[in-house]
A and B are shown apart, each in its own frame.
Chain A
Amino acid sequence: MSKLDREKILDELVSFEGISHSCIYQNEQILASTFPSIIQDKLSGMGRFIDKIFSSAHAIDQAHDEIHIQLEENTLITYRVNEDFLIMLMATKGINLSLVYMTVKAIEKSVKLHGLPPPKNIASKPVPSEVSKEKKVPNDYRKEDIPVWSLKGESEDAPRELTSEQKVELYTNGLKKMLLESFGPVGDIIFEEALQRWQASYPPEVESMAKLVDLIAQEIDSKNEKRSFFNKASRYIRRPLSEIGNE
């Protein structure tokens, strides 16, 4: 996990209403933090204590992976991610716990699938923006705060002649963006589930993209949302690459 990635995760979390500070703890070290410098030296101790609580629970076969420690005015919420590192958040009352939980789960899923690839919001990278013109982003998070988790190594100096892999990536990035804008962090989970199934069953080619759209649609519960996504995504993958790449 590079320094940049950690900071992106923390920036996203503290952008949520009610979360004032956050940090990532692993192996007795604070990897990144937005806590005020005055308590920075206390964070390692805090992480160690909380890690011990999780370890003690696991020692008696309890699978608890979330702790809320309520203080006088704030609550310290900690998630154990993949039994590997801790995300600690300082929260006030009125926090949307589901929003935070699903965001952490999306991070967890992405880490599990890709061994913690960096979330990148590279402004210069051509990503489809068709949906952003049509979809209203929910009020409780900002579109620019949603990390776009890269699926493969990315280079800002991509050659003009696209390889088959890059063509596929352009389309998959567009589909993923659609899901994130429609479903928020849950969209990331939907996408990763479907992508994994697609990669296991079909050749990673542009010609197989319709299969990926099918698989993603299968992951969407609501009939209306399923239909809406399917129609939009089917139109999208029929568009020429030159059009998508120039957006």
Chain B
Amino acid sequence: MEEDVIDQIMQIKQIKGLIQTNTEGEDVASTIEDEQLAHFIRFLVGYAPLFEKTVELGPIKSIILTSNKNNNLGVFIGKEHSLGVLFARGCSIKKLFSQIKAYLNKLSIGDA
């Protein structure tokens, strides 16, 4: 079922790649070929709990990085799985959220 959901997300025009990881940062599914980017996404997944512990502002739901030169990048943090998304430069964060929200629920990541 999760593979179906991943396929459905990949159908969204602005989505350039996905990586689903478990809490240990291991890949459950991935369509990102750039290994450095994949490492960076895994790094963000592992970094989020450290950030929460240091800053004590509550749980992090997502981390989005944007750029005028590269594709944007988002990590949606769940209890069991997290989802890293590479999305087109110029695609607004609000638009991304609205498009991906339903799928995050299906992946038990919760709406970001």
Contact = CB atoms under 8 A, between A and B. Distances in A.
Interface stretch (B4-12, B14-22, B48-56): B48-56
Given A56-B43, A60-B36, A62-B67, A49 B50 contact: yes
Given A71-B61, A97-B93, A49 B44 contact: no
Given A45-B54, A49-B54, A53-B47, A63 B69 contact: yes
Contacts of A67: 63-66
Contact of A62 (B40, B56, B63): B40
A82 interface: no
A73 B58 CA distance: 9
* Chain B interface category by residue count: 20 to 34
Interface string A43-82: 0011001001100110010111111111111101000000
B65 A76 contact: no
Contact of A53 (B56, B65, B112): B65
A87 to B, nearest CB: 14
Contacts of B65: 53, 57, 62, 64, 66-67
Interface centre among B60, B65, B112 (most CB of A within 10 A): B65
A68 B64 contact: yes
A42 B60 CA distance: 16
B84 to A, nearest CB: 13
Interface in B67-85: 67-70, 72-73
B14 to A, nearest CB: 16
Interface bracket on A: 20 to 34
B57 interface: yes
A57 B40 contact: yes
A80 to B, nearest CB: 10
A143 B83 CA distance: 42
A68 B60 contact: no
B43 to A, nearest CB: 6
A68 B92 CA distance: 12
8 contacts: A46-B55, A49-B55, A57-B40, A60-B37, A69-B62, A70-B62, A72-B58, A74-B57
Interface of A: 39, 42, 45-46, 49, 52-53, 56-57, 60, 62-74, 76, 97
Interface of B: 36-37, 39-40, 43-44, 47, 50-51, 54-70, 72-73, 92-94, 112
Nearest 6 CB-CB pairings of A with B:
A64-B65, A63-B69, A64-B67, A68-B64, A60-B36, A70-B62
